[in-house]
Amino acid sequence: MKAFAADVLESIGQAKRGEFARVHTPATIATYKARGRPAGTVKVDAKQAVTVRYSPDVLAAFRATGAGWQARMNDALKDWLQTHSPV
């Protein structure tokens, strides 16, 4: 642990002296920039969170199908809209 603390203090000193390249190589800097979700990306067809009430038997039927039941319910509603008018 003492070696780690010494290395950290040395790295801090190098950074303060402007020796950033000694602390971080260009390859490691590139990996830092590549991490995470790209800024500003949004799906065009993003789903919206809403609150809806369903009868217990409908929920039980979809939940009984296991994980992903919400997506299956969404697909069933999309299929229904293909042949019916929502009004």
Residue 23: per-residue pLDDT: 65
For residue 63, name the pLDDT band (cuts at 50, 70, 90).
Answer: very high
The span from the first CA to the last CA of the chain, in angstroms, equals 69
Residues 6-13 have a mean pLDDT of 82
Using one digit for the tens of pLDDT, what is the confidence trace for 36-52?
776 676 677 778 889 99
Using one digit for the tens of pLDDT, what is the confidence trace for 64-81?
999 999 999 999 999 999
Contact (Cβ atoms closer than 8 angstroms) between residue 56 and residue 47: no
Using one digit for the tens of pLDDT, what is the confidence trace for 21-39?
666 777 777 777 667 776 6
For residue 52, which of 66, 73, 31, 79 has the smallest C-alpha distance? Answer: 73
